[in-house]
């Protein structure tokens, strides 16, 4: 099951233009609310018509401006789980699940297998409102799968559930994907959820896809300052390229020279760039290992937040260099004795410094 999607649409002041694809994987659409994630699902499902574009679902043309094809939602064979689930309140669990099954045929077998697949045994005759949030969620999934579709559209499916239930259902979803070979387009604004589930990640902002790439690429090599901000990079510095040598590309940030790995496309000297490093990639050290070691600066902890499993520290440079945010796991925090020592040598490892064109 594959999806290829490209669509443009104007909704009043909102301009939408996005291109994504998915093939037997979980593609996560990530962004703030109003960024165009739900619109994308509605366009795929055929509940919203683009001004122009081309949508192909499993090699079948669902929408194409040029070929003048526009299949109604009934013919698109996608399973769409909307954010509020929209279970039919007057129908039982079994009736809800069977709603989309072909009429007239014998659906008993597939109904039973879906019920056991989603662990709804014994709840078949219950009404949706008598179920727990997690059970309702699984009924909605079963109903969406009942049309024998292999393309699932999930709109923030776990947002209304508490954390332990979310973890269970995420595991369940990964299991389903494995067992059924599903292609899933998953909308979320939860960074952790996006990281856990995504094979590929599309970062939405204001109706546009800023970056669509493998998960690790998006998280480690954001294409712009905005993507870095949206994906939770807390250290973003404006800098100027000095030059490139064997140690990497030298970038001057607040008077400090940082050597960065830039891959093949080394920026020209004098070019303005943004440098990003995730808070958990910054190291605290007591001393330099060699006198000529680079990418070090001295900084003092000015603020500290304890989240239990992690600590977030805010540091001010004592000399040159930028302000920093550092995230430490509880164990290294204790081993290093951060609580008693306030001034540190901070290492910004070359391989974790990511250089982007200034935007």
Partner 1 sequence: MRSTTGADRTAITAVAVLTAAFALFFLLPFAGLVERAWEDGRTFEIWRTQQARDALFLSLWTSTLSVGLAIAFGTPVAYLLARYRFPGRAVIDAIVDLPIVLPPTVAGVALLTAFGRRGLIGEPIDNWTGFTFGFRTIAVVMAQLLVAAPFYVRAAKAGFEGVDAQLERVAYTLGASRMRAFVRVVVPQAWPSLLAGVILAWSRAMGELGATLIFAGNLEGKTQTMPLAIIEAFEGSSLGLAGAIALSLALLIVALALLVVFRLIAGRAASGV
Nearest-angstrom CA–CA distance, 23 and 4: 9
Does residue 157 belong to the site contacting partner 1 (CB under 8 A)?
Answer: no
- Under a CB-based contact definition with an 8 Å cutoff, are residues 178 and 205 in contact? no
Nearer to partner 1, 14 or 99 (CB): 99
Nearer to partner 1, 105 or 270 (CB): 105
Applying CB under 8 A, the span of 28-36, 63-71, 83-91, 217-225 interacting with partner 1 comes to 83-91
Helix (H, G, I), strand (E, B) or coil at 156: coil
Nearer to partner 1, 89 or 122 (CB): 89
Nearer to partner 1, 79 or 321 (CB): 79
Please, what's the b/e burial string for 326-355 (b: 16 or more CB within 10 A of its CB; e: otherwise)? bbbeeeebeebebeeeeebebbbeeebbbb
Q: Residue 213 pairs with which residues in a beta bridge?
A: 201
Among 21, 47, 56, 161, binds partner 1 (CB under 8 A): 47
Does residue 49 belong to the site contacting partner 1 (CB under 8 A)?
Answer: no
Nearer to partner 1, 60 or 306 (CB): 60
For residue 44, the Cα-to-chain-centroid distance in whole angstroms is: 19
Please, what's the b/e burial string for 151-179 (b: 16 or more CB within 10 A of its CB; e: otherwise)? bbbbbbbbeebeeebbeebbebbeebbee
In the complex, least distance from residue 262 CB atom to partner 1, rounded to whole angstroms: 45
Nearer to partner 1, 86 or 191 (CB): 86
Torsion of CA 320, 321, 325, 327, to 10 degrees: -90
Binding mask 228-267 for partner 1 (x = CB under 8 A): ----------------------------------------
In the complex, least distance from residue 239 CB atom to partner 1, rounded to whole angstroms: 48
Q: In Å, how far are 15, 132, 140, 161, 170 from 136, measured between CA atoms? A: 34, 6, 6, 11, 15
Nearest to 44 by CA among 13, 66, 71: 71
Nearer to partner 1, 74 or 164 (CB): 74
Residues numbered 175-234 forming contacts with partner 1, rule: CB under 8 A: none
Count of residues in contact with partner 1, rule CB under 8 A: 23
Torsion of CA 276, 324, 291, 288, to 10 degrees: -110
Could you tell me how many residues make up the chain?
Answer: 359
Among 33, 59, 66, 72, binds partner 1 (CB under 8 A): 72
Does residue 78 belong to the site contacting partner 1 (CB under 8 A)?
Answer: yes
In the complex, least distance from residue 150 CB atom to partner 1, rounded to whole angstroms: 14
Which stretches of the chain bind partner 1, using CB under 8 A?
A: 45-47, 72-74, 76, 78-80, 82, 84, 86, 88-90, 99-100, 127, 143-144, 146-147
């Amino acid at each position: 099951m594959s999806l290829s999607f490209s669509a443009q649409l104007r909704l009043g002041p909102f301009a939408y233009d996005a291109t994504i694809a998915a093939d037997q994987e979980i593609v996560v659409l990530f962004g703030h609310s109003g960024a165009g994630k739900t619109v994308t699902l509605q366009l795929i499902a055929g509940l919203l018509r683009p001004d122009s574009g081309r949508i192909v679902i499993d090699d079948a043309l669902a929408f194409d401006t040029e070929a003048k094809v526009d299949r109604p939602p009934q013919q698109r064979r996608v399973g769409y789980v909307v954010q509020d689930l929209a279970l039919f309140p007057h129908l039982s669990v079994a009736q809800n699940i069977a709603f989309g099954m072909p009429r007239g045929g014998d659906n008993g077998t597939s109904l039973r297998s879906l019920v056991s697949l989603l662990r709804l045994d014994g709840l078949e005759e219950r009404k949706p409102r008598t179920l727990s949030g997690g059970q309702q969620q699984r009924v909605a999934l079963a109903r969406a799968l009942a049309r024998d579709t292999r393309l699932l559209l999930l709109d923030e499916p776990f947002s209304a559930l508490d954390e332990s239930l979310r973890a269970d259902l995420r595991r369940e979803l990964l299991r389903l994907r494995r067992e059924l070979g599903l292609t899933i387009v998953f909308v979320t604004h939860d960074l952790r959820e996006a990281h856990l589930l995504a094979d590929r990640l599309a970062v939405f902002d204001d109706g546009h896809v800023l970056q669509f790439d493998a998960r690790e690429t998006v998280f480690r090599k954001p294409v712009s300052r905005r993507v870095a901000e949206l994906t939770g990079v807390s250290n973003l510095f404006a800098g100027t390229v000095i030059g490139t040598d064997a140690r990497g590309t030298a970038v001057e940030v607040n008077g400090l020279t940082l050597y960065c790995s830039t891959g093949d496309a080394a920026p020209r000297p004098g070019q303005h760039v943004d440098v990003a490093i995730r808070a958990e990639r910054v190291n605290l050290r007591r001393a330099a290992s060699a006198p000529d070691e680079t990418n070090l600066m001295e900084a003092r902890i000015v603020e500290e937040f304890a989240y239990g499993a992690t600590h977030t520290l805010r540091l001010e440079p004592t000399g040159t260099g930028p302000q920093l945010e550092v995230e430490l796991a509880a164990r290294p925090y204790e081993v290093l004795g951060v609580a008693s020592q306030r001034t540190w040598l901070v290492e910004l490892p070359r391989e974790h410094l990511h250089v982007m064109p200034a935007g």
